Amino acid sequence: MGVIKQSIVVCMVLVIATRLSRLFETPLPVNFGGTWDPEFKKVADVFKRNVESGKERGAAFAVYYKGKPVVDVWGGYTDLESHTPWKQDTTTLVFSCSKGVAAIIMAKMAEMGTLDYSKPVSYYWPEFAQADKDNITVEMLISHQGGLVYLDEQLSIYDYKNNRQRWQDILAKQKTAWPAGEKFGYHALTFGLFVDELIQRVDPAHRDTDTIFMEEISKPLDIDFRMKVPLEDWYRTARLVPRSKFQLLFDAFQYRRYLKPIYDIVFHPDSLMARSVSPVIEFAQRTDVLNNPYIREVTVSSLTGTGTARGLAKMYGIIANGGAHDGNQLLSKQSINRLSKPIVRGSDAVMNTGEVSEIGLGTLYRKNPWGEETVGHTGHGGQVAVGDIKNNIGISYLTNHLTIHGVGDDPRYQDLEKILYETIAELEKK
């Protein structure tokens, strides 16, 4: 039996077993809460229906429109085993939406005059120049052109805690997978490893990424988000419910844009795709290792950002509405304009899906239902955090019940996005 046939058989067995197990589950009471502007009631109704039907098992959805909160809803459970309901202050891991937050932090640093996108990374981090990386600029690094997709020597989260020198040395000596600037390919995990080290070296006070975000953005603007989870805040973060690699492979036969990347991860460990998700030992294991609080207290801006949908919707709502809120400036219009323009466009050399991707200064672009660009970042499992600058909208959908989706194509999110834009279209006609 061929490899593909074997994988199909295994996946079918998994699906049948999962569905049979659910037949014996005791249904939990419907949990739904939130607030919304009366004009956006249809949006809240769609979210509520998804919760009631079981399509939505645990998530939050928030929208800012023209600078004001218009939808803030949550529902389902943060931990099905303990019957813990999703609440107003529940946070969850946002995976690659973290990259968009890191991009905003760097844009803020550029405004402050401490960071120059055009300078070589080695200008701020001399040891980085090893292995012919002296020509990699900050812009190349954060737009996934640097070729630093994997690490030849794996790191451990505990290296960060107990042996920072080893952590730094492995990053500095890493060679590129291709000559910098020759092409681009998604740096799934290494993005945060390199960017966090760069940010701390650029900052005059050598603050880490989480501290800079807290002091420069989160606290002044009252944004409920962190780039990690401090142990004292662990009590309110949702327990992740991931899909196994073989479950993801089965899903990929339904959502075929993911088939090549998932197939490479499962069956081609030497491929760029497989190597791109394994630089950190703990992250290369099962996704549910991210339910370990001692791992989550370390910032890796590729994926460890944790917060509420309300917080991310507010941040992108501010960006989509000119960059200021209640007298506090998040970003200037010039910086927002810069973030809104793709740096590279074309076929991703790592994902290798054949689709056209657009990447900016740490940001990822996707089109809204009207075919217009939004800026921000999506994340594995269905996570979305974007700003629609043309229409003054900030949106975030966050869930702990993870799916294969990672580019804003999760049906749970698309239900909400569709009715949201229909509602706004109706309002604009008035």
- pLDDT at residue number 38: 98
Its sign, for the CA torsion 275, 127, 102, 156, is positive
Number of domains in the chain: 2
The domain boundary residue, chosen from 196, 214, 232 = 214
Whether the predicted pLDDT of 314 surpasses 70 = yes
Mean pLDDT lowest among 13-17, 321-325, 397-401, 409-413: 13-17
Whether the predicted pLDDT of 414 surpasses 90 = yes
Cα–Cα dist 171/152, whole Å = 10
Task: Tell whether 227 and 306 lie within a shared domain.
Answer: yes
Q: Which residues contact 65 (CB under 8 A, 6 or more apart)?
A: 40, 317, 392, 393, 394, 424
Mean pLDDT value of segment 143-158? 97
Within a domain: 23 = no
User: What is the pLDDT of the chain when averaged over all its residues?
Assistant: 94
Within a domain: 303 = yes
Task: Tell whether 120 and 82 lie within a shared domain.
Answer: no
Give the E-state strand segments of 42-163 in sequence order. Answer: 58-65, 68-79, 84-85, 92-93
Task: Tell whether 253 and 333 lie within a shared domain.
Answer: yes
**Cα–Cα nearest to 118, from 99, 100, 135:** 135
Helix axes 259-267, 245-254, angle to 10 degrees: 150
Whether the predicted pLDDT of 7 surpasses 90 = no
- pLDDT at residue number 14: 57
Task: Tell whether 235 and 356 lie within a shared domain.
Answer: yes
Length of the chain equals: 430
**Cα–Cα nearest to 246, from 267, 216, 225:** 267
Q: What are phi and psi of 124, to 5 degrees?
A: -95, -25
Task: Tell whether 259 and 171 lie within a shared domain.
Answer: no
Within a domain: 6 = no
In contact, 403 and 61? CB cutoff 8 Å: no
The domain boundary residue, chosen from 214, 229, 256 = 214
Task: Tell whether 389 and 254 lie within a shared domain.
Answer: yes
Helix axes 190-202, 164-173, angle to 10 degrees: 110
Cα–Cα dist 197/208, whole Å = 8
Cα–Cα dist 9/17, whole Å = 12
Mean pLDDT value of segment 158-176? 97
| Residue 342: CATH number of its domain | 3.40.710.10
- pLDDT at residue number 8: 57
- pLDDT at residue number 193: 98
Q: Is 355 exposed, middle or buried (0-12, 13-18, 19+ CB in 10 A)?
A: exposed
Mean pLDDT value of segment 385-404? 98
**Bridge pairing between strands 328-329 and 356-359:** unpaired
- pLDDT at residue number 5: 58
Mean pLDDT lowest among 15-24, 235-244, 307-316, 332-341: 15-24
Its sign, for the CA torsion 95, 97, 101, 106, is positive
Mean pLDDT value of segment 145-154? 98
Task: Tell whether 198 and 226 lie within a shared domain.
Answer: no
Task: Tell whether 106 and 235 lie within a shared domain.
Answer: no
Task: Tell whether 421 and 318 lie within a shared domain.
Answer: yes
Mean pLDDT value of segment 290-298? 97
Residues of the chain with pLDDT > 90, as a percent, come to 90
Torsion on CA atoms 378, 380, 383, 389, rounded to nearest 10: 0
User: What residue type is 46 in one-letter code?
Assistant: V
pLDDT in tens, 187-207: 999 999 999 999 999 999 999
363-391: b (≥16 Cβ within 10 Å) or e = bbbbebeeeebbbbbbbbbbbbbbbbbeb
Within a domain: 7 = no
- pLDDT at residue number 429: 87
In contact, 332 and 339? CB cutoff 8 Å: no
Residue 279's pLDDT band, with cuts at 50, 70 and 90, is very high
Task: Tell whether 317 and 417 lie within a shared domain.
Answer: yes
Q: What are phi and psi of 309, to 5 degrees?
A: -60, -35
The domain boundary residue, chosen from 167, 184, 214 = 214
Within a domain: 419 = yes
Within a domain: 399 = yes
Within a domain: 279 = no
Q: Which residues contact 247 (CB under 8 A, 6 or more apart)?
A: 11, 14, 15, 18
Task: Tell whether 235 and 311 lie within a shared domain.
Answer: yes
Query: Can you give the residue range of the structural domain that contains 166?
Result: 101-214
The DSSP secondary structure of 333-365, one letter per residue, reads HHHHHHHTS-SEEEE-TTT--S-EEEE-SS-EE
Task: Tell whether 228 and 376 lie within a shared domain.
Answer: yes
Higher-confidence residue: 3 or 255? 255
- pLDDT at residue number 417: 98
- pLDDT at residue number 1: 47
In contact, 299 and 196? CB cutoff 8 Å: yes
- pLDDT at residue number 21: 53
Residues of the chain with pLDDT > 70, as a percent, come to 94
Within a domain: 382 = yes
